[in-house]
Amino acid sequence: MGTYSRGHICQCLSRLATVRRDSPLTISGSRQKTGEQFVEGVLGLARGLFELGLRTGDIVAISALNSDLYLEWLLAIAFVGGIAAPLNYRWSLEEASLAMEVVRPILLVTDTISNFWHSEFRINSIPSLRWHVFMNTPIEISSAVLTTETLKKPSLRSLPFNYLWAPEGSAIICFTSGTTGRPKGVIISHSALIVQSLAKIAIVGYSEDDIYLHTTPLCHIGGISSAMAMLMAGGCHVLIPKFEAKSAVQAIEQHYVTSLITVPAIMSDLISLIRTKETWKDMKTMKKILNGGGGLSVELIKDATKIFPSAKLLSAYGMTETCSSLTFIILYDPTSDHGQPFQITGEIKSIPVHQTEGICVGKPAPHVELRIGVEDSSRVGRILTRGPHVMLRYWDQIPSKVSDTGDEDWLDTGDIGQMDDYGNLWLIGRTKGRIKSGGENVYPEEVEAILSQHKGVSGIVVVGFPDARLTEMVVACIQIRENWQWTDSSPDHSAKNKDLWLSSEILQHFCREKNLTGFKIPKTYIIWRKLFPVTTTGKLKRDQVRREIMSHLKLLPSNL
């Protein structure tokens, strides 16, 4: 394949330098950059990285909050043929260390929120690390400290090379948790990011007229893919460090934001805050909202159409391994005869999105091929996909095959669903008990491994319970050891045998002591006073546990 026939995410730079030559491309706090200034920043940083010694295939880990500099780093790393590996800033030091051990980065970029990681990594001796760069300027700086600005080189348009490619056309390593919670590096190609961007431009309607608010972190595939789509469309980027409802609403009002993406928790928080304001106005500048990370409840969809009456509201289904969105569904379109919210606005308007047999997540994007791997005469089976959007592989692993169907080239999503006669995908459930909470993946086995270490817990099963704000909340069903007691609050110091008491607060504190990330810690605990249901071979019936909770969860803690 010829060099110029391959896709590269830096191909958007020439467009950005012209479409937004004199108008803001990025707004990050008090700092604004035109398209030309942004492109010069990317090229200057790329030259600095090359002169530092970064070469094709080298890994650069990034741990930082959202900013215009983060976008510059993603593109500059790609320009010199490097591979960016964004780390989740919410991770504990242990999780970050595991991810670093997986991909062995040569350079680490941090901002002020993650600076403590670097000294710890030195102590723990990550052998691959050669350089540490501060994304922003630390309070105390010496001439020996590398920062984004000190790395950038002048004569920005006279680079001695065009953009380069990493092996296999790799662009980014995006992390997702494995079934044990250990971070797995998903290798996303330039081509995958480009076709995903073009799909979002076509279906959501992103354009150079958009003012896009970054509400999700650039360490997540949803935030990365939508950022790339907006870079290719040539719209303006408004960046807040991380999502907080107050700062997001202020940004929407101040900059006349036209588009953003949400997960159910973000949508819930936005609506709640706007409604608490003494005088709130319809957010009529908003034209496009794309939801991911779990379906919106009927109530949230209704509320969203009132708060954002001019916005087309869409929802997407996808995952890290497929470079974000596989399918899209329009939940509400104000230009379509004020179509009924929470209904499909396609050929089958009469069918509600939420049905007992699952949730309709819409039709595949143009570049996506889907099929259902069925094992019997039913139409329900494992959701399989193939196409340019699929990950190259997991880092340091050979490409996986769909072992139980025998089909090569198809990725098993791990989800169960069916296709209807109109080409819509219905999502029925997840395999392996994965919980989607606030847009984050939580694997029950990881949480169970932590809680089972408490000397008062004899048995533990963790499941997801439906929640309008988080999509699912993490619920722990625990069996207590003999002679131990449960209390609704921590026992006072005068309590008899206080060392043999358990409470939600005690277990949450225990999880934090074990460095379990905050969003994975169960907030709800069910006292399970019988055997957990298992198959004849002893395998846990996790779905049955979840059904029993849904039937009995009324008072906390419940006694099942």
What does 381-435 look like in DSSP terms, one character per residue?
A: EEEEEESTTS-SEETTSPPP-BTTTTBSS-EEEEEEEEE-TTS-EEEEEEGGG-E
Asked if residue 86 lies in contact with residue 195, where contact means CB atoms within 8 angstroms, the answer is no
Global pTM value? 0.83
Domains along the chain with CATH numbers: 1-189 (3.40.50.12780), 359-431 (2.30.38.10), 435-552 (3.30.300.30)
What token pair was written down for 358? 């699952």
Distance CA 330, CA 334 (A): 11
Q: What is the pLDDT of residues 481-532, one digit of tens each?
A: 988 999 876 555 555 556 788 999 999 999 999 888 899 999 899 999 898 9
Radius of gyration of the chain (CA): 24
What's the CA dihedral at 71, 74, 80, 81 to 10 degrees? -150
356 pLDDT above the threshold of 50: no
Task: Identify the CA nearest to 316 among candidates 437, 441, 173, 196.
Answer: 196
Q: What is the pLDDT of residues 286-329, one digit of tens each?
A: 999 999 987 888 888 999 999 999 999 999 999 999 999 999 99
Q: What is the pLDDT of residues 94-124, one digit of tens each?
A: 888 889 999 999 999 999 876 666 667 665 6
